[in-house]
């Protein structure tokens, strides 16, 4: 059966999960493999990448695990070199790494601001730096960057100044690459997920519940708050992000370039 990504090689950066369950990167890597791609699964924790590879291989797909810190130039170069040594081409680059840090301009330290930008923006810049020359030589390629609706909205009472600003920078980086490389057959788009129920959210909910008298009740309360905030009454999942990434990475999106695709159940259209 022909898949939408048959004969393509995809690098998924952030292909593991912080804990049990299905995060954006893991879902995307598995989805790409199900659609026929050979997937180079990258994570800063090798065990997390290997877990995703195991899931893909169990379904009969093809994947390789690689440990890399996407915020370090030498590490990213090694990642790209290893993928080329294995499969001699890169058709898709999917960037999933990211982190957040609470606080406004006054509360947040300079070091923490820089750390967020290194992970959320510099990593996307570095992967593009090393992958774009390969795609240019091939005459074709697709880059998918995972941003956030935090790049276009900042709800009252929630201070994530570094996260908001860094995701806004991801959007601008995406548009700049899309414009510069369009004539070379390379597309660059971004996905802006909304409130998603992923292992990262479970981790944050657990952190929130620590020290509470009724741990389970505190955890459930945070999840319920996020569910109610979505117009659908339920958070999205990593599969929603993965399906958007599949479309943007596939030839079906051949004329989609420089697009910021909101995947949020409609939360950003509410007042």
Q: How many CA atoms lie within 13 A of 179 on its CB side?
A: 6
CB 70 within 8 A of CB 76: yes
Residue-level length of the chain: 271
The structure tokens listed for 28 are: 């995307």
The 3-state secondary structure of 58-69, one letter per residue: HCCCEEEEEECC
Main-chain dihedrals φ then ψ at residue 55, nearest 5 degrees: -65, -40
How far lies 270's CA from each of 151, 162, 190, 193, in Å?
16, 24, 21, 15
Catalytic residues: 163
The structure tokens listed for 264 are: 């949020």
Q: Within 109-230, where are the H helices?
A: 110-117, 123-138, 161-181, 199-209, 215-229
> Among all chains, which residue has been given the structure tokens 């590879």?
53
Report how far residue 8's alpha carbon sits from residue 89's, in angstroms, rounded to the nearest whole number.
Answer: 8
Dihedral of CA 145/149/154/156: which sign? negative
What percent helix, strand, coil does the chain show, rounded to 5? 50, 15, 35
Which residue(s) pair with 260 in the sheet? 190
Q: Which of 118, 107, 94 is nearest to 187 (CA)?
A: 94
Main-chain dihedrals φ then ψ at residue 3, nearest 5 degrees: -100, 165
């Amino acid at each position: 059966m022909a898949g939408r990504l048959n004969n393509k090689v995809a690098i998924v950066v952030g292909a593991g999960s912080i804990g049990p369950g299905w995060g954006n990167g893991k879902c995307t890597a598995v989805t790409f493999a199900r659609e026929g791609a050979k997937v180079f699964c990258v994570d800063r924790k090798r065990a997390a990448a290997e877990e995703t590879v195991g899931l893909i291989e169990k379904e009969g797909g093809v994947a390789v695990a690689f440990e890399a810190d996407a915020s370090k130039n030498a590490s990213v170069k090694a990642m790209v070199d290893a993928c080329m040594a294995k499969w001699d081409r890169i058709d898709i680059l999917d960037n999933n790494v990211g982190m957040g840090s609470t606080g406004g301009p006054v509360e947040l330290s300079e070091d923490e601001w820089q750390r967020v930008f290194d992970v959320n923006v510099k990593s996307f810049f570095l992967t593009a730096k090393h992958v774009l020359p390969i795609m240019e030589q091939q005459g074709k390629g697709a880059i998918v960057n995972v941003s956030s609706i935090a790049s276009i909205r900042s709800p009252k009472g929630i201070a994530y100044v570094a996260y908001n600003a860094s995701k806004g920078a991801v959007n601008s980086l995406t548009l700049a690459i899309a414009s510069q490389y369009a004539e070379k057959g390379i597309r660059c788009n971004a996905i802006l997920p909304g409130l998603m129920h992923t292992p990262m959210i479970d981790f944050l909910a657990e952190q929130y519940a620590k020290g509470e008298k009724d741990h389970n009740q505190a955890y459930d309360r945070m999840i319920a708050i996020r569910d109610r905030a979505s117009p659908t009454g339920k958070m999205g999942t990593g599969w929603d992000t993965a399906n958007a990434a599949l479309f943007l990475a596939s030839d079906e999106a051949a004329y989609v370039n420089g697009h910021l695709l909101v995947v949020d159940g409609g939360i950003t259209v509410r007042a």
